[in-house]
Amino acid sequence: MAKQIILPDVVCKVEKSGNRYNAYSTDGTKYTSDITTGCRKNAYEGDYLIGRFPSTSPRYEFAWRRITDKVLNQLENSSSINTPNTSDSVSVDVPTDHAEVLNFIHSSYSLKPKGLMMTELKWKYLIRSAVRGKNIMMTGPAGCGKTMAAKSVVNSLDRPDFYFNLGATQDPRSTLIGNTHFEKEKGTFFSKSLFVEAIQTPNSVILLDELSRAHPDAWNILMTVLDYGQRYLRLDEADGSDTIKVAEGVTFVATANIGNEYTSTRVMDKALMDRFTIVEMDVLSEDDETTLLNYMFPHVDSSVLSSVSKIASLTRTESNSETARITSGISTRTTVELCGLLYDGFSLEESAEVSIYPQYDSTGGVDSERTFVKQIVQKFCDDGSTDDLFNEDEMAEAEGDAS
């Protein structure tokens, strides 16, 4: 008997928009956020379709893979699914009529990816700011979901999108403006940056990740670009030099680590901050953290997941208290990483040792931040057996024996 071919339930074609690769299914649904960047990029560059297949790993429900010719033939013969025809792919233009805009904003919570924890109000505020062409600044402590939320909002709006990580650029002028080159035949010439292309693309959404870590030169260059009254980029610092106008409908979404514990992050210029609408990302509550971890790690014992949320929550409360013995709480990024270790068979104690403790200073020995955090974790590592260090009955007994 011929081997049965497993067919995908969704088929996507990848298109390039701005500097990102977006995946659309047959009916125009955007699946970008469900598929890894690498997979989308390979599909685009290799010019093949990708499909959603049942996963062989218990961790994931689905796996996205290349659709081979064999599968494609089979699909074309079965009427259950059509391969996408992207020439008429649906793109949800943001409505302009006021009633429609209201409707779009207030029904937008369904666009939020399930794996992103964010309140409905904050999400809708974010969507509204984007739809209204505001410059958005996502703020909050490290690892609380700023980049994730910014990318999600960009994915939800079917508009050309561009991503720039300003925290990683050493040379803001070449990233934001371009480079001057010299070639024998051509002489000196100027090659514009991708950012110049981005701001000239009408209705594009431009992500400026880690703006707070950017070089002050980057802030200066962006000052006129972000100013609603100016909206231009000057190609040269010299007055009277060429400028490039920001196209109609361009939206900027920036992220910044702003909080008193971020002394290493440069303090952002007040004038630059004033050009943004601030959307503050909340640090997750213990319950929300537990919900997220259970959603992400359905195969990990949920009582251990609850312990992880509890540990994180205790450190966050402590770091915010007036008599704080630690400078920062455990972030959601860290709890997610830690649960990944639990899933891979490490114990809570081992996972904490490699993912949490290195973040805390060990100088000061028993009075150190690390010792403090270790003590919190230890409370949740004891399995209730007799070697419980802090078992009061035993302590009393031991004291009794000694006397």
Ligand X SMILES: Nc1ncnc2c1ncn2[C@@H]1O[C@H](COP(=O)(O)OP(=O)(O)OP(=O)(O)O)[C@@H](O)[C@H]1O
Q: What residue spans of 256-368 are helical by DSSP H? A: 270-273, 286-296, 302-320, 332-343, 348-355
In the complex, minimum distance from the CB of residue 126 to Mg ion, in angstroms, rounded to a whole number = 15
For residue 22 the two structure tokens come to 């977006």
Task: Name which of ligand X, Mg ion, none residue 158 binds, using a CB cut-off of 5 to 8 Å depending on partner kind.
Answer: none
Task: Name which of Mg ion, ligand X, none residue 51 binds, using a CB cut-off of 5 to 8 Å depending on partner kind.
Answer: none
Stretch that binds Mg ion, among 99-107, 132-140, 145-153, 331-339 (CB under 5 A): 145-153
Q: Residue-wise over 157-183: b if at least 16 C-beta within 10 A, else e?
A: bbbbbbbbbbbebeebbebbbbeeeee
In the complex, minimum distance from the CB of residue 240 to ligand X, in angstroms, rounded to a whole number = 38
Closer to Mg ion by Cβ: residue 147 or 204 = 147
Closer to ligand X by Cβ: residue 135 or 332 = 332
Q: Is 52 helix (H, G, I), strand (E, B) or coil?
A: strand
In the complex, minimum distance from the CB of residue 253 to ligand X, in angstroms, rounded to a whole number = 12
Task: Count residues binding Mg ion (CB under 5 A).
Answer: 1
Residue matched to tokens 């690390």: 370
- Backbone phi and psi for residue 46, each to the nearest 5 degrees, phi listed first: -85, -5
Closer to ligand X by Cβ: residue 344 or 394 = 344
Closer to Mg ion by Cβ: residue 108 or 147 = 147
Closer to ligand X by Cβ: residue 129 or 257 = 257
For residue 92 the two structure tokens come to 């949800």
Closer to ligand X by Cβ: residue 178 or 340 = 340
Q: Does 147 bind Mg ion (CB under 5 A)?
A: yes
- Residue with the shortest CB distance to ligand X: 145
In the complex, minimum distance from the CB of residue 334 to ligand X, in angstroms, rounded to a whole number = 8
65, containing H or E segment: strand 62-66
Question: Phi/psi class of residue 144: alpha, beta or left (left: φ > 0; alpha: ψ in -120 to 50)?
Answer: alpha
Residues 6+ apart with CB under 8 A from 202: 247, 248, 249, 250
Residues 6+ apart with CB under 8 A from 344: none
Q: CA-to-CA distance for 155 and 152, rounded, in angstroms?
A: 5
Footprint on this chain of ligand X (rule: CB under 6 A): 115-118, 140, 142-148, 210, 255, 257, 284, 292, 332-333, 336
Task: Name which of ligand X, Mg ion, none residue 144 binds, using a CB cut-off of 5 to 8 Å depending on partner kind.
Answer: ligand X
In the complex, minimum distance from the CB of residue 117 to ligand X, in angstroms, rounded to a whole number = 4
Task: Name which of ligand X, Mg ion, none residue 333 binds, using a CB cut-off of 5 to 8 Å depending on partner kind.
Answer: ligand X
In the complex, minimum distance from the CB of residue 166 to Mg ion, in angstroms, rounded to a whole number = 11
For residue 398 the two structure tokens come to 């031991």
- Tell me the CA distances in angstroms from 120 to 49, 110, 148, 372, one per residue in order: 34, 10, 16, 35
Q: CA-to-CA distance for 104 and 95, rounded, in angstroms?
A: 8
Stretch that binds Mg ion, among 52-60, 143-151, 170-178, 372-380 (CB under 5 A): 143-151
Report the candidate in 281, 332, 292 with the shortest Cα–Cα distance to residue 311: 332
Stretch that binds Mg ion, among 1-9, 28-36, 146-154, 281-289 (CB under 5 A): 146-154
Closer to Mg ion by Cβ: residue 147 or 334 = 147
Q: End-to-end distance of the chain based on CA atoms, in angstroms?
A: 81
Q: Is 240 helix (H, G, I), strand (E, B) or coil?
A: coil
Question: Phi/psi class of residue 47: alpha, beta or left (left: φ > 0; alpha: ψ in -120 to 50)?
Answer: left
Closer to ligand X by Cβ: residue 147 or 169 = 147
Task: Name which of ligand X, Mg ion, none residue 178 binds, using a CB cut-off of 5 to 8 Å depending on partner kind.
Answer: none
- Backbone phi and psi for residue 36, each to the nearest 5 degrees, phi listed first: -65, 155
In the complex, minimum distance from the CB of residue 276 to ligand X, in angstroms, rounded to a whole number = 16
Q: CA-to-CA distance for 306 and 175, rounded, in angstroms?
A: 43
Closer to ligand X by Cβ: residue 51 or 143 = 143
Task: Name which of ligand X, Mg ion, none residue 134 binds, using a CB cut-off of 5 to 8 Å depending on partner kind.
Answer: none
In the complex, minimum distance from the CB of residue 269 to Mg ion, in angstroms, rounded to a whole number = 20
In the complex, minimum distance from the CB of residue 266 to ligand X, in angstroms, rounded to a whole number = 14
Binding site residues, Mg ion, CB under 5 A: 147
